[in-house]
C-alpha cells in the first residue's frame, strides 16, 4: 500500500516538475545560402553571366536529401519478399548511379547478417555526388551500420564465450563426479 502511494506521489511530482519548466527557446533558423551551381569567373564574365541562380535551384536545395529519405521510408515499408525482389534486381544491374546505390544500401541494411551490413556500409562509402543535406542522412546511416556491425560482432563473441563457459562447467562437473578435485589456478 505504501509503495503504491509513494509511486503515485513521485509520479505526480515528476509530472508537476515537467509542467512547471519552460521549454527551451529554439535558436533562430540559420539562413541557408541559395544553391550556387553557376560560376562567375571575373568581372567581364560577370556581366555576361546570369546574376541570379536558376529558378529551380532553391527547389533543389535539400531535395536530394528528401529523395533519399523517401527512398529509405519506402524500403522500410516493403515486405521481405518485395525487398528480396528489389535487391535481386539491383544486384543484377552492372552499373548503378548514386540513387540506385543508396537503394541497394537501404535494402542491404534490412538484412540480418554482418556481411549484408558490411556491404551496405561499403555501398554508402562509394556514393560520390551527394549534397550537404543528403550527406547528413548518409553519415547517420553509416554510424548506424557501424554500430549494428559492432553489436553483432560483440553478440557473436558473447555467444562463443558462453559456449566455452558451458563446456568448462560440464568438464568441471564430470571431474567432480569422478571424485577428482580440480586444482585452483
Q: What is the pLDDT of residue 118?
A: 92
Domain locations along the chain: 60-177
pLDDT of residue 13: 55
Residue pair 47/38 in contact by the 8 Å Cβ criterion: no
**Crossing angle between the packed helical segments 132-178 and 63-77, to the nearest 10 degrees:** 40
% pLDDT > 70, the chain: 63
Task: Locate 5 and state its grid cell.
Answer: 502511494
Q: What is the pTM of this model?
A: 0.57
Give residue 120's Cα distance to chain centre: 11
Residues 42-65 have pLDDT tens digits of: 444 444 444 444 444 444 445 777
93-134 confidence digits (pLDDT tens): 888 888 888 888 999 988 888 899 999 999 988 887 788 888
pLDDT value of position 178? 86
Count of other CB atoms within 10 angstroms of residue 87: 20
DSSP string, 102-124: HHHHHHHHTS-SHHHHHHHHHHH
Q: How confident is the model at residue 17 (pLDDT cuts 50, 70, 90)?
A: low
pLDDT at 115 (0 to 100): 92
pLDDT on residue 161: 96
Would you list the DSSP string of 39-51? ---SHHHHHHS-S
Quickly list DSSP for 130-155.
--HHHHHHHHHHHHHHHHHHHHHHHH
Q: pLDDT tens digit string along 61-76?
A: 457 778 888 888 888 8
Cell digits of residue 171: 568438464
Amino acid at each position: 500500500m505504501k509503495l503504491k502511494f509513494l509511486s503515485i506521489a513521485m509520479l505526480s511530482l515528476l509530472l508537476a516538475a515537467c509542467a512547471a519548466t519552460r521549454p527551451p527557446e529554439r535558436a533562430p533558423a540559420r539562413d541557408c545560402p541559395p544553391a550556387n551551381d553557376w560560376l562567375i569567373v571575373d568581372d567581364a564574365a560577370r556581366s555576361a553571366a546570369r546574376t541570379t541562380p536558376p529558378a529551380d535551384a532553391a527547389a533543389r536545395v535539400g531535395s536530394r536529401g528528401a529523395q533519399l529519405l523517401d527512398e529509405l521510408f519506402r524500403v522500410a515499408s516493403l515486405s521481405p519478399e518485395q525487398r528480396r525482389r528489389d535487391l535481386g534486381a539491383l544486384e543484377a544491374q552492372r552499373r548503378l548511379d548514386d540513387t540506385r546505390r543508396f537503394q541497394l544500401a537501404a535494402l542491404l541494411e534490412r538484412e540480418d547478417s554482418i556481411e549484408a551490413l558490411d556491404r551496405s556500409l561499403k555501398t554508402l562509402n562509394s556514393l560520390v555526388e551527394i549534397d550537404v543535406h543528403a550527406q547528413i542522412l548518409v553519415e547517420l546511416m553509416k554510424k548506424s551500420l557501424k554500430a549494428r556491425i559492432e553489436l553483432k560482432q560483440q553478440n557473436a563473441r558473447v555467444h562463443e564465450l558462453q559456449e566455452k563457459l558451458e563446456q568448462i562447467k560440464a568438464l568441471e562437473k564430470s571431474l567432480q563426479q569422478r571424485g577428482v578435485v580440480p586444482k585452483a589456478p
